[in-house]
């Protein structure tokens, strides 16, 4: 018997999180492809609300894709996961807090769970259930995009169209990546940065 680096049957949670265009989906697909090359059974879920590029596939802005199962609610993930050893979930911020229990359950069963999602909404507010997932994950990767104003590392999603709703599904036409300096909570605010509290 060859000694193993970790006990057989141990599952865990990996979270990949950052702003829009930061490469979360690319990174998710990269990890899942490697698992597939290792002949592990992989299944990927995405919220059925996200139909930007394809109804069925998880698709990155750079047009990499991976077949997925769209689900309306986190509980459907557990019902459809079957005997998958590796479970991918994209756009996790579109699920409700029930996703945390579902993901924990999958990892407790011995599965590797890779979750990708936005850490903040367009207002810069933590986007549930990502904060809760970050707290319980074994591994966390924060991804950064490139600021479309100055080229600095960007960790915010700038909404380009003024709209009240927290969720506006869209890509390049509706959002762009911005650094802390050039991001504005209000798309109609023409100032290049928010005033300091003392200003
Ligand atoms: P996410 O899932 O985080 O929204 P994706 O993995 O779908 O990101 O896409 C990342 C890709 O988006 C990059 O490889 C690049 O081709 C493209 N892209 C478009 N705008 C930017 C930007 N401002 N910064 C970095 N990458 C960008
Ligand atoms: Mg993505």
* Residue 63: CATH number of its domain: 3.40.50.300
Q: SS3 of 157, please?
A: strand
CA-19 nearest atom, ligand 1: 3
**Would 112 be classed as within a structural domain?**
yes
**Other CB atoms within 10 A of residue 87 CB:** 27
Do strands 86-89 and 42-47 pair parallel, antiparallel, or not at all (unpaired)?
parallel
Tell me if 121 CB under 6 Å of ligand 1: no
Which structural domain range is residue 130 located in?
A: 12-144
**Other CB atoms within 10 A of residue 176 CB:** 23
Tell me if 146 CB under 6 Å of ligand 1: yes
**Would 25 be classed as within a structural domain?**
yes
**Would 182 be classed as within a structural domain?**
no
Distance 76 CA to ligand 2 centre (A): 21
**Would 21 be classed as within a structural domain?**
yes
pLDDT at position 197 is: 53
Residue whose token pair is 């193993």: 4
**Would 88 be classed as within a structural domain?**
yes
* Probe target for ligand 1 pocket from 15, 19, 21, with the most ligand atoms within 8 Å of CB: 21
Distance 119 CA to ligand 2 centre (A): 12
**Would 184 be classed as within a structural domain?**
no
Global pTM value = 0.90
What is the per-residue pLDDT across 81-131, written as a single tens digit (0 to 9) for each? 999 999 999 999 999 999 999 999 999 999 999 999 999 999 999 999 999
Do 127 and 119 meet the contact criterion of CB atoms below 8 Å apart? yes
**Would 115 be classed as within a structural domain?**
yes
Tell me if 21 CB under 6 Å of ligand 1: yes
- Tell me the pLDDT of the chain (199 aa) as tens digits: 666 666 677 899 999 999 999 999 999 999 999 999 999 999 999 999 876 666 788 999 999 999 999 999 999 999 999 999 999 999 999 999 999 999 999 999 999 999 999 999 999 999 999 999 999 999 999 999 999 999 999 999 999 887 666 666 665 678 999 999 999 987 666 554 454 556 5
**Would 196 be classed as within a structural domain?**
no
Residues paired with residue 176 on neighbouring β-strands, in sequence order? 158
Number of domains in the chain: 1
Which regions of 120-184 does DSSP assign to beta strands (E)?
139-143, 145-146, 153-154, 156-159, 175-178
């Amino acid at each position: 018997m060859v000694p193993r680096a970790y006990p057989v049957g141990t599952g865990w949670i990996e979270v990949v999180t950052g702003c829009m265009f930061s490469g979360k989906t690319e990174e998710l697909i990269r990890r899942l492809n490697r698992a597939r090359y290792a002949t592990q059974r992989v299944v990927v879920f995405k919220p059925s609300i996200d139909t930007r590029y394809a109804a069925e596939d998880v698709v990155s802005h750079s047009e990499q894709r991976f077949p997925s199962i769209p689900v309306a609610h986190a509980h459907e993930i557990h019902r459809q996961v079957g005997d998958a050893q590796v479970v991918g979930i994209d756009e996790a911020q579109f699920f409700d807090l029930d996703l945390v229990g579902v993901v924990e359950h999958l990892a407790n069963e011995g599965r590797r769970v890779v979750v990708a999602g936005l850490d903040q909404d367009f207002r810069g507010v933590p986007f549930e259930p990502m904060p809760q997932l970050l707290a319980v994950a074994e591994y966390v990767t924060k991804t950064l995009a490139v600021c479309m104003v100055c080229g600095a590392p960007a960790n915010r999603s700038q909404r380009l169209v003024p709209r009240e709703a927290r969720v506006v599904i869209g890509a390049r036409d509706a959002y762009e990546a911005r650094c802390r300096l050039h991001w504005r909570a209000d798309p109609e605010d023409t100032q290049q940065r928010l005033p300091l509290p003392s200003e």
